[in-house]
Structure 1
Amino acid sequence: MRSFIAIDTGQQVQMMIESVVEKLKRMGFRASWVPGGNSHLTISFLDSVELQRLELLATMLSKRLRGFPTFTLETGKLGYFKHKELPKVVWIGIERNQTLSNLHREVRSVLESMSFPVEDNFRPHLTVGRMKFSPPLWHKFLETIETEKIVFQVNEVSVFESILSREGAKYRKVFTCSFEGGLIKHDFQG
């Protein structure tokens, strides 16, 4: 099961991402766009993991995060990762937040204890699209897009499955670990 650990961003952020995607399309950008309903803040990629191991990971995460404080995050500016002087991924940033860094450290600790590979560089962002074509003057176009500052609450993390298809990736929650304690196993056919 291709999977990752992430924070669900909520409906207001989803609608803002859909608005940014529409603006980019009108400017001539072509990409594998992230549907607003798929918006999430990735804490860690897991790659392919068997369901039983994923359930053990979710159980350990749930125990480790019990009592973690609820906190808020705020969306930031539009940004991008470049490859060969063109934007490869366009994203919306997340304002720096010490509690998010602490959460990442807790998740990383559980992953390391289970011998999962962990990424060294945590750059919190919300992916808008993976670029296939960028128009001339793309840099200037991106500078004109303003993003709404949205504050959203974080009181859980989820383990998602990533399902690849011709229409793009679809994400489905498999487990949710509430900071108040408790593990939710989501129903699915699999």
Structure 2
Amino acid sequence: MARHYFIAVKLPNEIKNILAEWKEMIEETTPFRSWVHKEDYHITLSFLGSAEERQLEKLKLDLQQLAEMSRFSLTLQGCHTFGVKEQPRVFWIGVEEERALFDLQKEVYTICEQNGFQLETRPYHPHITVARKWKGEEAFDKNQLPALLRRIFEVETVTLYETHIERMPKYEAIYEIYLQNTQA
């Protein structure tokens, strides 16, 4: 089976724990076919698909230039869906729009393209996937869910992940780039 890769913002453990606790509160009464494992929460910057080892090694070298970018803050912002509103395909948590995140994504996208990856051309919508495929009898209504408190967190790490469909958690961090701490 071909291995697949993607580049994402790694979430701090504190945020993963908050999302996991919220998920536990709603999981029993919110029937989705699959729920994302706490360790798999992330914000995708670029999905790469399959890659050869040589291509990955060159990509890792080129991604090092991200280490010159500064850390920045993001704020969790409510739950949303992709797909039909009453039977969503994807249930996700948003983050407030932050120019630094879009700049980071653009830089990652450019590096990936320069390394020969065929990337999505849809507009970038940063999100943290929580669950997939609604299977409830009733229509999904996000307004019935308890509010997820707004939390601010710092983006410190950009990570290259490998996907392992057969495992739980599914995503393995294989390379990390640490953004500059301008506070130091």
Interval containing the TM-score (normalised by the shorter chain): 0.7 to 0.9
Query: 1:12, 1:150 within 8 Å by CA — same for their partners in 2?
Result: no
Q: 2:80, 2:46 → 1: CA distance?
A: 20
Q: Residue 19 of structure 1 aligns with which residue? A: 21
State the partner residue of 1:77: 78
| Correspondence list, 1:42-61, <5 A | 42-61=44-63
Map 1:133-152 → 2, pairs under 5 A: 133-139=135-141, 142-145=142-145, 146-152=147-153
Secondary structure at the counterpart of residue 105 of structure 1: helix
Percent of residue pairs bearing the same amino acid type = 27
Gaps spanning 5+ residues in structure 2: where? none
Q: Which amino acid aligns with 1:57?
A: L
State the Cα deviation string for residues 134-160 of structure 1 (Å, max 9, x = none). 241422xx2132112111111220100
Tell whether the 8 Å contact from 2:55 to 2:115 is kept in structure 1 after alignment: no
> Structure 1 residue 99 and structure 2 residue 100: aligned?
yes
Aligned equivalent of 1:177:
177
Q: Is residue 90–residue 128 contact of structure 1 (8 Å, CA) maintained in 2? A: yes
Moved more, 89-98 or 6-15: 6-15
In structure 2, the partner of 1:114 is 115
Q: Give SS of 2:97's match.
A: coil
Aligned residues: 177
When the two chains are superposed, the root-mean-square deviation of aligned CA atoms in Å is: 2.0
Gaps of 5+ in 1: 182-190
Once residues 138 and 7 of structure 1 are traced to their aligned partners in structure 2, the CA distance between those partners, rounded to angstroms, is 28
Q: Is the 8 A contact 2:73 2:154 kept in 1?
A: yes
Cα deviation, residue 11, structure 1: 1.5
Aligned to 1:88: 89
The SS at the match of 2:63 is helix
Conservation of the 8 A alpha-carbon contact between 1:58 and 1:175: yes
Counterparts of 1:180 and 1:4 in 2: how far apart (Å)? 22
